[in-house]
Structures are given as C-alpha cells and as structure tokens.
Amino acid sequence: MLIEFHKMQALGNDFVIIEHSCSSTTRRLFEKEFLVNISHRLYGVGCDQVVVFYRENCFIHAFFFNNDGSEAEICGNASRCLGKLMRDFYGMSQFALVAAERDYAVQVNHDSTVSVNMGRPTFKDSAIGFSKKVEDPLNLNPKNDLGLGPDTLHDVKVLRAAGVSVGNPHLAVFVEEIPQFQVVAEVGNLLSTNKLFENRVNVSFVKVLATDLLEQSSFERGTGPTLACGSGACASGFLARACGFTSGSEITVQQRGGTLLVAFNEDESITQTGTASYVFSGRIEL
C-alpha cells in the first residue's frame, strides 16, 4: 500500500508528515519499525521526527515520533510546519492542535510566519519527569544533580542549569560559550539520558547575548543534535527570564537553523513565532 507524505522543515528541523486515514491498514504508521525506517536518512525519506495527524473540524490531532521511534508529547517546530501545511493544503489559517491531551492554538500570520501558543510552562516534577524530589528546578547542580564533572564537561563553563516543561521536558544549560557540535552531541546525550530524568529530557546549551537575545544549541531526546528546537527555545527563553538573565515581553532565540521569537503573554503562556516551509511530497510503501 502506498501512502502520501509531506516533507517539511522549520529552521532546519525536518519532518515527515502523514495524514492518518483511521483505517485498519494505516495502524502500521505507529509501529516503531516503520517510524525508524522512514526517518532513516540513507534508507528512508529522512527526518528528525515523524508527525502523524488526522483532522476533526477545526481540531488537528497530532502524534509526534522521534527518529528512534519513541513518542514525544509535542514539537514546537513541527507544530509550525503543521500550521503551514493546513493553510496551504486545506485553507485553515488557524486551528487547535491537540497533542498529548493538551490544546495548542496555531495561527498562520499575514507574513506567512506561524505562531503557536505553547501554554503555560510548569515546574511540576511529574511534567519534567524528575525521578526524585528536586528542591529548586531553577538551580540544578551540574555535579550533584546531573553527575557531570570536569572530565565529562569538556571545558564547558556552566553558569546555571534549570529544568521546566513546556508540554515536553527541557533542561537548559546556561554557558559562557556555546560548545562545539561534537561536545553538544556527547554532553547532550549524557544529560538527556541522566538518571534524574525518568523519560529522558531535551537539552539546550544557552548563551545570553543580551537582555532580549539568546543563542542556543540543542540535543533532542530520541533524535540527537538538531539545527533548532522550537519548544527548547520557549523553555530557554522562559528559564532565562525566570533566572534573571533576560527581561521584557519578547526574546529572540538564535539557533544554527535560524531565529525564533518567543513572546510572554499576560496569562503566563508562551507564544513562539517563526518560519516553516514545504520541501516536497511523495509516496512510500507502507
């Protein structure tokens, strides 16, 4: 059976997006073997994540899978890709994205950027996935809490580490300088799989450039280093503000794949705004 897919990207974070017809034959879309195969950059289409969705009036129900086949609660960059896809292919400029029992308001703007309201961040242990009680998630000790010593940090100067959930769990490591790619991969993996986090965690290395400007490099659980992380930018922006590194109602987050604008709303929710683009469509054997 051939199924249609769309390849899309947002800030270099790329996705294979498939509409689920709800028929019994497409149950295989959710099987790990299929997800890993289609994600493979040599033997499949290639992507950071696979997104499977179905439409229900003005609601878009979506499921996000990392390229190792594991499921994620939400993906900020993929949500913007869905926004562009719905506008370009289905004429929907705004809709409610339903993922992991949460609703996210998505809107395509007049300049073709896409805004997604990511809701209110939370420090709840269960949301971040802490395996033990953490006294202050805004002040995680690299050695005692995260088990990192000088030998594993590769000269990365850590100023502060903090955890939060923006629909999925994030750890922001504030540093003097953004590490090289290989260090992000190695240290990011150690942190992502740290025993402090029961379900693994997304890791962002963050440098504060100004009171309204951050630089970020991310390691995403189940995927590895990526050119950008949308939910990670929201988490880093929120944590930078909560730690007193930044101020104001908006923060720009620079990543290797591009920039994202993070806005803090009066109801304490966060809205991320950025670009998303269509790459190509195709068919693949299910």
Residue of 47, 75, 81, 234 marked catalytic: 75
Q: Is 106 helix (H, G, I), strand (E, B) or coil?
A: strand
**Region class of 173: left (phi > 0), else alpha (psi between -120 and 50), else beta:** beta
**Rg for the chain, CA atoms, rounded:** 18
One of 22, 58, 81, 229 is an active-site residue; which one?
Answer: 229
Helix 76-90 to helix 230-242 angle (10° resolution) is 130
Task: Identify the CA nearest to 115 among candidates 98, 134, 97, 138.
Answer: 97
The residues that bridge with 271 in the sheet, in sequence order, are: 117, 263
Q: Note the residue count of the chain.
A: 286
Burial class (CB within 10 angstroms; exposed 0-12, middle 13-18, buried 19+) of 237: buried
Q: Compute the distance between CA of residue 188 and CA of residue 183 in angstroms, rounded to an integer.
A: 8
Assign residue 2 a region: left if phi > 0, alpha if psi is -120 to 50, beta otherwise? beta
DSSP state of 130: B
Q: Pick from 51, 37, 72: which is nearest to 8 by CA?
A: 51
- Active-site residue, 75 included: yes
Catalytic-residue membership of 234: no
| Catalytic center residues | 75, 229
